[in-house]
A and B are shown apart, each in its own frame.
Chain A
Amino acid sequence: MNRLFVLLLGICFLLTGCVKQQILEKITLATVCAYDEAPNDQIELTIAAPMFEPGKSGSVTNKLYSKVGYTSRNILQSMNLRLNRPIHPGKISVALYGKELAAKGVADEMEVSSRDAQSSRKKYMAVVDGKAKELLQAKFSSNEEKGMFLFNLLDTNARTGLVPVQNLHEFEYSYMGKGMDPFLPLLQLQNEQVLISGIALFKDDKYVRSLNEKQMRVMKLLLEDAKHGTLEAKLDNGSNIAVVNVGSKVNYRVGKDSKGPKVAISLTLNGEILESKGMLYPSQEKRTIKDRFETDLVATGTELIQLFKKEGIDPLGLGDIVRSKTRNWNEEEWKQKYRTLDVKLNVKVNFPETGIRK
């Protein structure tokens, strides 16, 4: 019995060699893919496959492969017919969507990566102003792989910049959750350069409209507590002031009156004056600078909220906040009330420090 046992155990160890192998040198690990609309409800999938030149270390070029089809997995399979190393989609960390496709809905493409066990849930997504394929075709990164370039662009700007944090999980969260709508960063191609030009707003999974850069800054402040990013304002006397955000806090209060719920948003921003053009001693003018920033932020913020209410979208997740404060919250009822919801925005700006000068 014992001898048989050892024999069988030995066979088991040998059997591990039969598992399908995926050797790094023999597969194509793409990091970015782009989805575009194609006629007849088809999609056009573009993959930027990195090419490593033998002998030259550090130099990476991209080769684009694109194909039209109904399902992305089938497209990948038929792309393999043209490749010496089959594509492995597990490493894709940026997914780009063309504006036209985004307007039709991205839920189907998103579902692919949520279903796949090998796909990442922290994958970045972005909408491209125009065709996503054209953006990938541009030579925007000189010595970096395009996928890594885009990943770092989105990652650093979300973590330490002006872009609100959003990834596949968070997108799905606000898409599926009741009383909120998702958003994504909007990418644009200008003179062969990629830039994040604003925010693409979604109703359910369909792209509705975009916000510009200034609105994006305020939206970030309203969405999350941030510790980075600068703000700029022009005073009445013509001087320009730039302020770095050293810590902002946003707080949502839900109240109730006869008509229904009302929301009061209070935003407290601690800033440090970085630049004051045309003003020698900004510390003496703190009061006016503070007022200026407060009115600016309130104006842009109120404008944003009005816009959301008009479009019937809820990227701030006000519905979810009200849900968490009311018993027997009803989504249908809320949707009717949302357009006439009473939202108040209070902004308080403090300047504890003014750099190392007065």
Chain B
Amino acid sequence: MNTLWERYNMKSTEPSRYTISPYLVFVLILTMQFGPEYITMSNKPIQLAGQDAWISVILCGISFHIVIWVMYRILDRNGTDLIHIHERFFGKWAGGALNLIFIAYFLLHACFQMRLFIEIIQVWLFPDLETWALALALLLLVYYIVAGGFRVIVGICMFSLLRYFALFTLIFTAEYFHFSNLSPVMDHSLHEIIKASKQFTFPYLGVETLLFCYTFIKTPKKSQKWTHLSNVVITVFYLMIVSVSLLLFKPEQLSTEMWEQLTKNKFVHFPFIERFEYIGAASQILWVIPVICFCLWASSRMVKLMFTVKQLTVLPILLMVVFAAVCLIQGRSRMDAIQTMLSEFGFYMIYGYIPFLYIVDVVRMKARRSI
């Protein structure tokens, strides 16, 4: 039995021209985890844990390392992605139903990301912009990328690394840092800090993408260290972002801000750009597009495998569903509702469902061995 798993682990099940090198998993997971949610992430935890919010970032990062480890145990043992694992574990019908839930999750996630970007553009740049016009333009771009296949999506992730230049502008805010905001350390109870950590799961989400693209990695087993590295880098970035929020604002001030990360752009001033927030807001596209592309790729692939249709025939239908949904989401309160829904789902998926799968896997193995 063991040799069979090892044979699975050695090579991907996909044709090698569709696969990516293990180190590219770093780029992929980094882009998926570091989604546009980061622009609002420091507000709620800081309301809960105040100056200790940075501890919550680290706690959440550590917990994600454990989740990544668990995910690799499941995937390595079965040697295939979650779509097949579902069917293997729960049978065709229950497994299919679980896959449907993930399709809905990815589509809703794509809608949320797209609507968030359009909302930012509407609030910061063009208040009179029609939602559908920008959604149409973006979805055309998404179709173009996703139709190119998984490797093109990873290429777009690579391209989107350019966005980290925008983060360097945080240095401009240093003039207004108040270091007394960081002390006293550990003034909040452990309960509050853990509650704040729970708020951070949403921005950390994105490692679950690995469950769906596992078979597209050339030597999947070798990619684990890259996923862990990506999580470390994310933790450092998030630590930086949350610390700047703490140093720059009072918690009372933050509670009135909608997107505090974009407000930080208001401190940036170049001789040739009076208002950097225009670039800051527009550059969110580099955060949004790769995530939307992956979501649509994953959901269309799941539909393809479940109903044995061509991926390229499913894709336009899913794009139209996303387009309609994006046009229907109006206003901040709906967005908030969707965000809580997604973060709740993500939280239970990461800390409930993935460990559950692991236990099922272990039990299955034990049961087989005893036979």
Inter-chain contact A120/B180, CB cutoff 8 Å? no
Measured CB to CB, the nearest residue on chain B to A91 is: B274
Minimum CB–CB distance for A75 against chain B, Å? 20
CA–CA, A20 to B129, complex, Å? 9
Q: Which of A7-15, A60-68, A271-279 binds B?
A: A7-15
Check: B273 CB closer than 8 A to any chain A CB.
no
Residues of chain B within 8 A (CB-CB) of A320 are 180
Query: Known contacts being A324-B183, A325-B184, is A20 close to B253, with CB within 8 Å?
Result: no
Digitize B107-133: 1 where CB-to-A-CB distance is under 8 Å, 0 elsewhere. Answer: 000000000000000011010110001
Check: B226 CB closer than 8 A to any chain A CB.
no
Inter-chain contact B250/A324, CB cutoff 8 Å? no
Query: Known contacts being A177-B250, A320-B180, A327-B187, is A5 close to B266, with CB within 8 Å?
Result: no
Inter-chain contact B128/A20, CB cutoff 8 Å? yes
Digitize A310-327: 1 where CB-to-B-CB distance is under 8 Å, 0 elsewhere. Answer: 000000000011011111
Residues of chain A within 8 A (CB-CB) of B128 are 19-20
Check: A71 CB closer than 8 A to any chain B CB.
no
Question: Which one, A12, A20, A169, A173, contacts B140 given CB within 8 A?
Answer: A12
Question: Which one, A12, A20, A118, A328, contacts B136 given CB within 8 A?
Answer: A12
Candidate in B124, B129, B178, B182 with the most chain A CB atoms within 10 angstroms: B178
Measured CB to CB, the nearest residue on chain A to B266 is: A121
Check: A117 CB closer than 8 A to any chain B CB.
yes
CA–CA, A8 to B323, complex, Å? 15
Question: Which one, A121, A173, A178, contacts B263 given CB within 8 A?
Answer: A121
CA–CA, A168 to B306, complex, Å? 57
Query: Known contacts being A20-B128, A173-B249, A177-B253, is A15 close to B133, with CB within 8 Å?
Result: yes
Check: B256 CB closer than 8 A to any chain A CB.
yes
Measured CB to CB, the nearest residue on chain B to A121 is: B266
Interface band, chain A: 20 to 34
Residues of chain B within 8 A (CB-CB) of A90 are 275
Residues of chain A within 8 A (CB-CB) of B123 are 117
Measured CB to CB, the nearest residue on chain A to B262 is: A117
CA–CA, A8 to B135, complex, Å? 13
Interface residues of A in 99-136 (CB under 8 A from B): 114, 117-118, 120-122
Check: A176 CB closer than 8 A to any chain B CB.
yes
Residues of chain A within 8 A (CB-CB) of B180 are 320-321, 323-324
Interface residues of B in 236-270 (CB under 8 A from A): 249-250, 252-253, 256, 263, 266-267, 269
Inter-chain contact A326/B250, CB cutoff 8 Å? no
Interface residues of B in 42-73 (CB under 8 A from A): none
Question: Which one, A15, A173, A325, A328, contacts B253 given CB within 8 A?
Answer: A173
Minimum CB–CB distance for B347 against chain A, Å? 30
Check: A145 CB closer than 8 A to any chain B CB.
no
Question: Which one, A9, A170, A176, A328, contacts B252 given CB within 8 A?
Answer: A176
Candidate in B123, B129, B143, B253 with the most chain A CB atoms within 10 angstroms: B253
Question: Which one, A5, A321, A324, contacts B144 given CB within 8 A?
Answer: A5
Minimum CB–CB distance for A106 against chain B, Å? 16
Inter-chain contact A8/B277, CB cutoff 8 Å? no
CA–CA, A227 to B267, complex, Å? 23
Query: Known contacts being A20-B128, A117-B277, A172-B253, is A328 close to B187, with CB within 8 Å?
Result: yes
Inter-chain contact A177/B126, CB cutoff 8 Å? no
CA–CA, A264 to B140, complex, Å? 64
Minimum CB–CB distance for B174 against chain A, Å? 13
Inter-chain contact B124/A117, CB cutoff 8 Å? yes
CA–CA, A90 to B266, complex, Å? 12
CA–CA, A19 to B143, complex, Å? 24
Interface residues of A in 312-349 (CB under 8 A from B): 320-321, 323-328
Digitize B129-156: 1 where CB-to-A-CB distance is under 8 Å, 0 elsewhere. Answer: 1000100110010011000000000000
CA–CA, A177 to B253, complex, Å? 7
Inter-chain contact B252/A20, CB cutoff 8 Å? no
Inter-chain contact A176/B253, CB cutoff 8 Å? yes
CA–CA, A177 to B180, complex, Å? 12
Minimum CB–CB distance for A127 against chain B, Å? 21
Check: B176 CB closer than 8 A to any chain A CB.
yes
Measured CB to CB, the nearest residue on chain B to A9 is: B140
Inter-chain contact B184/A326, CB cutoff 8 Å? yes
Query: Known contacts being A178-B252, A324-B180, is A19 close to B187, with CB within 8 Å?
Result: no
Residues of chain A within 8 A (CB-CB) of B129 are 19
Minimum CB–CB distance for A183 against chain B, Å? 16
Check: B78 CB closer than 8 A to any chain A CB.
no
CA–CA, A18 to B128, complex, Å? 10
Inter-chain contact A114/B252, CB cutoff 8 Å? no
Minimum CB–CB distance for A165 against chain B, Å? 9
Question: Which one, B133, B250, B256, B267, contacts A122 given CB within 8 A?
Answer: B267
Measured CB to CB, the nearest residue on chain A to B254 is: A176
Residues of chain B within 8 A (CB-CB) of A122 are 266-267, 269
Residues of chain B within 8 A (CB-CB) of A324 are 180-184
CA–CA, A172 to B137, complex, Å? 39
Residues of chain B within 8 A (CB-CB) of A118 are 275
Q: Return the 8 tightest CB-CB contacts between A and B, nearest first.
A: A177-B250, A324-B180, A121-B266, A176-B252, A12-B137, A324-B183, A176-B253, A117-B124
20 pairs from A and B in contact (CB 8 Å cutoff): A8-B140, A12-B136, A15-B133, A19-B126, A19-B129, A118-B275, A120-B266, A121-B266, A121-B267, A169-B176, A169-B267, A173-B178, A173-B250, A173-B253, A176-B250, A324-B183, A324-B184, A325-B184, A327-B187, A328-B187
- 18 other A-B residue contacts (CB within 8 Å) besides A20-B128, A173-B253: A5-B140, A5-B143, A8-B136, A18-B133, A19-B128, A114-B256, A121-B263, A121-B267, A122-B269, A173-B250, A176-B250, A176-B256, A320-B180, A321-B180, A324-B181, A324-B184, A325-B183, A326-B184
